[in-house]
A and B are shown apart, each in its own frame.
Chain A
Amino acid sequence: MNTLIEMKSLKKTFGGIKAIQNVDLELYAGEVHGLLGENGAGKSTLMRILCGLEIPDKGIIKIEEKPVEIFKPTDAQNLGIGMIPQELILIDGMTVTENIFLGHEIESNKLGFLNQREMREKAMDLLEGLGSGDIDPDTYVGLLPKAEQQIVAIARRIIQGGKVFIMDEPTSALTENETEKLFTVIRKLCSEGKAVVFISHRLEEVLDICDRFTVLRDGKRIVSVENTDQIKKGHLISFMIGNEIEEEFPHTATTPGEKKLEAQNLSFTTSQGVEVKNVNFDVCAGEVVGITGLVGVGKTELAQSVMGLRKLKDGQILINGKKKNINSPVSAVKSGIGYVTEDRRGEGLVLGLKSLYNMTLSSLKKITRFYVIRGYHEKKLGLDYSSKLNMKNEYIDLEVKKLSGGNQQKAVVIRQMMGDSEIIIFDEPTKGIDVGAKAEIARLISSLSKEGKSILIFSSEPREILGVSDRIYVLNNKGFKGPFKRGDLDYKKLMAIEFGEKNAGGAQYE
C-alpha cells in the first residue's frame, strides 16, 4: 500500500496545555483509518491541523512523499483534504446538484451561463457511483435525511478533487440502516484509492469499518495497528485509557438530606436528533450527583431540559416532592434551580460588563429598593461572596472578560449562590480551566454541598465525575444507566459503561 499522507512529529500547544506532542500518523491510499481516544486526547486537534484550521507548532506533513504547507482551510482543500461535517459545507436552500457543484460549476459558454443539464447528469452519475442513485438531484438538501446529506457532502468533496475524507462522528445522528448505507459509500471511496479517517466513539463501528486504527492518549500516539479479528472492544478501551492512576479530587462525603429534585421518565431529543428515553434520576440536599457520558451523547441537552431551556418530550420533574412545570429558565429559577452553563463565554456571562454586575444578575431584588440599585449594598454583597470563594477583591470591578477562566467560573457560581439556588446544575464545570483552578472548582462544589445545596454535575471528564460525585449516572448511546455509588465505579468500569460495553462492571443498586 502506498502512503497518501504522512504526518511527522506534530506538536501543538494551547496556552501551555500540550494538545498533541510528537504525533506521527500515516494514511494509506484506499484505507479506512480509525482515530480513537478519550475526550481531549488530541484527535480533533490533529484533524484540525490536517484541515488547516490550526497551525502546528512543529512537525511536517507530506502528501505522496512531498512536504506540503497547510496554513488555512483552502490549502487543505486544494490538496484534496476535507472534513465531512455536513452542516458546514452544505446549503440547505439549494438543490443537491447545486450543492455538489458549488464553486465548481460547469459553464456552457464563456459568458458564465450554467450548464444545468450536464451538472444534473453528472450529479446523478456520481450519486449512482456511491450506491445512492435514489437521491433526487433536484430536491433541496435541507429536506434530505442526515445520512443522505452526508452522502451529498461526500459527493461535493469528490467534485472538489478530494482524496482524504475526514469524518468526525459521522454516524452519531444516523439510524442503523443509514449507517450501513454510509459504510457502503465509505467502502466505495476506498476502493477508488481514497483514504477515509473515521473518528467515532462507537467502537463496534470502528471495528466493523476500519482497516487500521490509531489510538491517541493525552496528546500522544499510543498505537497504530491493523484491524484483525483478534482485536476486541476491550483492547481498544485499554489502549485509550492505559493504566490510569486515579487522581485525587478533593471531596468530603456528606450525609445527604431529603430528596430535592427528582426527574421521572424524562425523554428528550439531542441536538443530533437522537431521542433519549426513560431518564430517571434524583438528587438530595447536600449531595453531589454526577451525570456523565461521552461528548455528544446528550448530557448538555439533558441539563438544558432540566433548566427549562429545552422542551422535554415527556416526563416530569419534582422539586421537594411536588411536581413543577419547568418550561422556561424563569420557572426553573423560581423553583430554586441555578445553572452554571458549559458555554461560559457565550451563555454564562455578559463579557463586557463588570464581574460584580454579572454576579448580582439573578438577585437584583436583593440589592434594589423600588427598582433602584443600591450600589453600596451591591458591592458589599459582591465582596462577601468573592472573598468567600478566594477571589481577589479588585476583580469585582473588572470587566469579566478580563478574568481568567477559573475566576469567570467563580463569578457564574457566585451568581447562583447569591440567587439562593437550592439546586445547582453544573454543565462541564472545568472546561477550559487550568489544572490548579480545576481542583479549586472541585473544592467549591464540595463546600456547596456541605452547605446543604444539591449539586448536579454534567461532565464528560471521568476523573472529575469519579472525584466529586456521591452518586453517578451514565448516559451512553443505549440509554441512561445508574445510579452507581461512589466507590463502586473506577475509571475502567466507568469507561466501559460509557462505551456501552456489555457486562460492564459496577454494581447497580436501586
Chain B
Amino acid sequence: MNKNTLQQAGKRFLLSEYSGPTIAILVIGIFLSIFSPQFLKLTNFINISNQIAINIIIAVGMTILITSGGIDLSVGANVALSGVIIALYFRAAPDGGSPFIGILIGLGMGMLLGAINGVIVAYLKAPAFITTLGTMGVFRGFALVFSGGRPLMGINTDFINTFSGFVGAIPKQFIIALLIALIGGFVLNHTSMGRIAKCMGGNERTLRVSGIPVEVYKVLMYMITGVLASIAGMVLTSMMAVAEPIAGQFYELDAVAVVVMGGTLLQGGKGTVFGTLLGAILLGVVRNGLNMIGVPANYQQLFVGLIIMIAVISGSRRKQAVQF
C-alpha cells in the first residue's frame, strides 16, 4: 500500500460514522491503561463485555427501528415484564418448567409487546415517541402488578445456564449479543426488510406510492425491537437468577444514546449496527473506567452524560462537514 492510498483510507475513515467512537474508545482506553493498572487485564475486558451485552442486544433492535424513523421507549419495561412473565411460568409449572417453553414465552412476549407498539404507531397513526412512552408505563405497571412488586425467584436452572455463564473465557451473553449484532447488521444491509427500513426513515411517502405495505413493515420493525428487548430480559433474568419488576430502567435511554453515538440518524434514513456496537463499547469502557480510576458514584452519571453529549455533538459536526 503506498502513501496515497493510505492517506485516502485514513481520510475515508475520518469521514465515516465510525471514526468518532473509535477514536474516543482509543483515547479513553489509553488514558485508562495509564492511570489504572487493572484496565488492560483480561478479567476487566470480560467484565466490560458482560456489562454491555444487554445494551447491545436492545440497541441492535433500536438501530433498525430508528433507521426506519421510529423509536421505542418501552424496551426497558419490556425487559422487566418479559422476565416477570417467564418467572411466573417457572414458578407455576409443577416440575419447575422447561427452559424451552420459557424461551418461547419470552420471545412471544417480545413479539406481543412490539406488536402493540407497532399497531398503535402504524395503524392508529400515533406518534412513536409518546406511544412508547405510554406503553413504557403500562408494561412496567403490568410487571409490578403481576409480580406483586417483589423480585421473583425460582427461575429454572437450565434456563439460567442457557443465557449466562461462560464459553471458555467469554461470557455467553456477550456471544449472544455479538451474534445478534451480526444478524442485525446483515438484516439492515442485505435484506429487503433493511432496505425498506432505510427507505421508510428516508421518505415514507415514496414507499407508500411504490406500493409497499408500509404499515405491515412498521409493525414488523417494532416486533423485532420487542423480541430483542425480551431476549435482553431473559439474559438479565438469567444473570441475576431472579426476575425484578423494576429491572431495566433507563435501558431505553442507553440504547438510544449508543445508537446515535454510533452514527445512526435519529430522524431515520441512515443507520449502522456496527456503529451501534462501537457506541455500546464506548459507553461500557467509560462506565468501567470511571469505576477503575475511582470516580465517586455521584460523579459517574455526570461524566457518562458528558461523554454522550460530546460524542453526539462531534458526530453531527462531522455530518455537516461531509454534507457541505
Q: Which chain A residues have a beta carbon within 8 Å of chain B's beta carbons?
A: 307, 309, 329-330, 332-334, 339, 341, 346-353, 357-358, 361-362, 364-365, 368, 371-373, 375, 415, 419
**How far apart sit A15 and B270, CA to CA, in the bound complex (Å)?**
30
Choose from B191, B195, B208 the contact partner of A329 (Cβ within 8 Å).
B208
Choose from B195, B209, B270 the contact partner of A352 (Cβ within 8 Å).
B270
| Pair A350/B211 contact, Cβ less than 8 Å | no
**How far apart sit A7 and B93, CA to CA, in the bound complex (Å)?**
87
| Pair B213/A353 contact, Cβ less than 8 Å | no
Given contacts A347-B206, A357-B198, 5 further A-B contacts (CB under 8 A): A309-B209, A333-B211, A362-B212, A373-B195, A375-B190
| Pair B191/A350 contact, Cβ less than 8 Å | no
| Pair A349/B203 contact, Cβ less than 8 Å | yes
| Pair B269/A334 contact, Cβ less than 8 Å | no
**How far apart sit A351 and B203, CA to CA, in the bound complex (Å)?**
8
- From 158 to 210 in chain B, residues with beta carbon under 8 angstroms from any chain A beta carbon are 190-193, 195-196, 198-199, 202-203, 205-210
| Pair A350/B199 contact, Cβ less than 8 Å | yes
Residues in B whose Cβ lies below 8 Å from that of A309: 208-209
**B55-92 contact mask (Cβ, 8 Å, vs A): 1 or 0:** 00000000000000000000000000000000000000
**How far apart sit A371 and B210, CA to CA, in the bound complex (Å)?**
18
The number of residue pairs between A and B whose CB atoms lie closer than 8 Å in the complex comes to 74
**How far apart sit A358 and B198, CA to CA, in the bound complex (Å)?**
11
Residues in B whose Cβ lies below 8 Å from that of A332: 211
**How far apart sit A330 and B199, CA to CA, in the bound complex (Å)?**
16
Known contacts A350-B198, A364-B195; is-contact A341 B269 (Cβ 8 Å): no
| Pair B208/A351 contact, Cβ less than 8 Å | no
Residues in A whose Cβ lies below 8 Å from that of B205: 346-347
CB distance from A103 to the nearest CB of B (A): 29
Q: Which chain B residues have a beta carbon within 8 Å of chain A's beta carbons?
A: 190-193, 195-196, 198-199, 202-203, 205-213, 269-270
CB distance from B108 to the nearest CB of A (A): 22
Residues in B whose Cβ lies below 8 Å from that of A361: 195, 199, 206-207, 210, 212
**How far apart sit A57 and B209, CA to CA, in the bound complex (Å)?**
38
Residues in B whose Cβ lies below 8 Å from that of A349: 203, 206
| Pair B209/A307 contact, Cβ less than 8 Å | yes
| CB closest chain-A residue, reference B268 | A352
| Pair A353/B198 contact, Cβ less than 8 Å | yes
Most B CB within 10 A of own CB, among A307, A334, A346, A352:
A352
Choose from B191, B211, B269 the contact partner of A362 (Cβ within 8 Å).
B211
CB distance from A100 to the nearest CB of B (A): 32
CB distance from A363 to the nearest CB of B (A): 9
| Pair B209/A350 contact, Cβ less than 8 Å | no
Residues in A whose Cβ lies below 8 Å from that of B192: 364-365, 368, 371, 373
CB distance from A418 to the nearest CB of B (A): 11
Residues in B whose Cβ lies below 8 Å from that of A333: 210-211
Known contacts A357-B195, A371-B192, A373-B191; is-contact A415 B210 (Cβ 8 Å): yes
| Pair B270/A362 contact, Cβ less than 8 Å | no
| CB closest chain-B residue, reference A348 | B206
Residues in A whose Cβ lies below 8 Å from that of B202: 350-353
CB distance from B172 to the nearest CB of A (A): 28
**How far apart sit A365 and B193, CA to CA, in the bound complex (Å)?**
11
Residues in A whose Cβ lies below 8 Å from that of B199: 350, 353, 357, 361
| CB closest chain-A residue, reference B198 | A353
CB distance from A357 to the nearest CB of B (A): 6
| Pair A348/B198 contact, Cβ less than 8 Å | no
Known contacts A350-B269, A361-B207; is-contact A371 B198 (Cβ 8 Å): no
| Pair B269/A339 contact, Cβ less than 8 Å | no
CB distance from A226 to the nearest CB of B (A): 47
